[in-house]
Amino acid sequence: MKNLTLNKKMLMVLVSSILFTIVFSFFFIHYLYSVLYLKSIEESIVYQGQRTAAHYHYGELSDEIIEKIQWYNIVSEYEIIVVDDLQQLSSYFPYEINYKTLVVNTDMKKLESGAHVVKTGFVEELNTEILGAIFPIKGKEGLIGFIYIYVPLAAVQDVFKDSIPLLIGIGSLFFFVLFLVVNRAWRSLFNPLKKLQQLSYEVSKGNYQRLETDRTDEIGQLAQAFNTMSLSLEQQEQRKKEFTSNIVHELRTPLTYISGYTHVLKEKIYASPEEAEDYLLTIEKETIRLNKLINDLVELNYLQEDLYILNIEPIAIAQLFYDTLDLFSIHISQKSLDIHSQIQEDLILIGDPRRIQQVFYNILDNAIKYTEDAGTISIELKKLASNIEFKVTNKGMSIDESDLKRIGERFFRSDKARTRTTGGTGLGLSIVKEIIRLHNGTFTITSTVSAGTIVTIQLPKFTNTTEEKR
């Protein structure tokens, strides 16, 4: 069964159902024959026999009485035999029933007690089944005679001969309608599955196709799941290509600088020691840049695979923010930026101080980097009902709505030019989002020309319940 296709299994179920229906119909007809027909015949014989024997329970069994009893042969459908002695039955009914004599010793005991005996079976000489019964006739001094009533039984086909054409017609109509319904259901079920199978082969080759369907049943849900899978694989393939392209781009530039300036220094193609010093400084910067890229990639993988263990402790988050902001004092001064800050001093956060500072650093770095000279950056750090909210707003370069959904993807940057003045590896916000996720917080970003770019981070604040859980 394991090696059979679903198509063959369904066919087996259908054929089995039809065979079961036929077998059930056969046994049901025989049940009607044995229960309804045979039972009714037996009840009729017993009724007639008991009624006839009851009329002659007095006196002797005279010829006149025997003639009256035999008169029933003419007016009834049954064969009636009346005898004074059981031995005489063999003269009137010289046949065996099921290859046994008509009356056996056990039958005699029942008859002597006044009970009747039902006899049914096949009579070879008559080539038919018969059903009959022997009834004792009692007189004043005991048994005075016996009445044997029997009737040949009709075969099953004879009993149902009037209804067989109707049964055949209804059965044929039923199976014809069943064939139409099953054929339609078969096509409805297996045609989409075959199409899914073909498209699956195409997807495995890299052709990410979709199955168009307006169905809402299980097949429609399967098709929708397939389409979702195909779209997801296509997006993953696209992201993989972008990742390869991005990492090649990120590696090529510093390697080009390092290789070129190394060649210049090796061949001593420089005009002065100061120029050589600049080349060495550039090589050092690019080496640091490569090292940071590698470290960021490793760090992001650890965060995404939940391999990093947070060092959880209460944090005076306002002080941590001020310490981080001080690291950018030179950059802020160089760009003449105006920092507007609203900071609640008494906020306590449960988290990893080093990672939270990394979040502050990356968010501030981006805000400062993309804000025009003499621009304004607004920073809020406040307490909400159950969270601490950190919000940074800058009026620098706005981000397209299509790009907002991709913020946080590896190497994705909204500045498609990738100038070295803005720099970065395109991994900063990816790391930020993972750190926020590990702290059970939320990260959102919006950007419009009028309002600027707003980064909002919410983290669970410190409570006594939090401390108890720790």
Considering the domain architecture, whether residues 322 and 465 belong to the same structural domain is answered as yes
Whether pLDDT at 423 is above 60: no
Encode pLDDT of 16-28 as tens digits: 777 777 777 777 7
- The CATH number linked to 438 is 3.30.565.10
Encode pLDDT of 365-409 as tens digits: 888 988 888 999 999 999 988 899 999 998 877 777 777 776 766
Considering the domain architecture, whether residues 327 and 439 belong to the same structural domain is answered as yes
Residue 103, burial from CB neighbour count under 10 angstroms (0-12, 13-18, 19+): buried
Whether pLDDT at 465 is above 50: no
Structural domain for 292, as ranges: 204-307
Q: Is position 188 within any domain?
A: no
Considering the domain architecture, whether residues 323 and 271 belong to the same structural domain is answered as no
Question: Can you tell me the distance from the alpha carbon of 346 to that of 318, in angstroms, rounded to the nearest whole number?
Answer: 7
Last residue of a domain, one of 244, 272, 307: 307
**345: closest CA among 380, 309, 316, 376?**
316
CB 391 within 8 A of CB 454: yes
**DSSP for 231-297?**
HHHHHHHHHHHHHHHHHHHHHHHHHHHHHHHHHHHHHT--SSHHHHHHHHHHHHHHHHHHHHHHHHH
**Ramachandran category for residue 457: left, alpha or beta (phi over 0 → left; psi -120 to 50 → alpha):** beta
CB 104 within 8 A of CB 86: no
Whether pLDDT at 218 is above 70: yes
Other C-beta atoms closer than 10 Å to the C-beta of 209 total 15
- The CATH number linked to 235 is 1.10.287.130
Q: Is position 51 within any domain?
A: yes
State what percent of residues in the chain have pLDDT above 90.
12
Considering the domain architecture, whether residues 317 and 460 belong to the same structural domain is answered as yes
Q: Is position 365 within any domain?
A: yes
Considering the domain architecture, whether residues 349 and 439 belong to the same structural domain is answered as yes
Compute, in degrees rounded to 10, the torsion defined by CA atoms 286, 289, 294, 297. Answer: -150
Q: Is position 227 within any domain?
A: yes
Last residue of a domain, one of 288, 307, 326: 307
Encode pLDDT of 284-306 as tens digits: 888 887 887 787 777 777 776 76
Encode pLDDT of 236-250 as tens digits: 787 777 667 767 766
CB 114 within 8 A of CB 107: no
Considering the domain architecture, whether residues 84 and 11 belong to the same structural domain is answered as yes
Q: How confident is the model at residue 455 (pLDDT cuts 50, 70, 90)?
A: very high
Listed range (30-39, 52-61, 232-241) with the worst mean pLDDT: 52-61
Give every CB contact of residue 47 below 8 A, 6+ residues apart in sequence: none
pTM: 0.48
Considering the domain architecture, whether residues 375 and 456 belong to the same structural domain is answered as yes
Whether pLDDT at 280 is above 80: yes
- When the pLDDT of each residue in the chain is averaged and rounded to a whole number, the result is 79
Considering the domain architecture, whether residues 129 and 266 belong to the same structural domain is answered as no
Last residue of a domain, one of 285, 307, 329: 307
Question: Can you tell me the distance from the alpha carbon of 242 to that of 409, in angstroms, rounded to the nearest whole number?
Answer: 10
Counted domains in the chain = 3
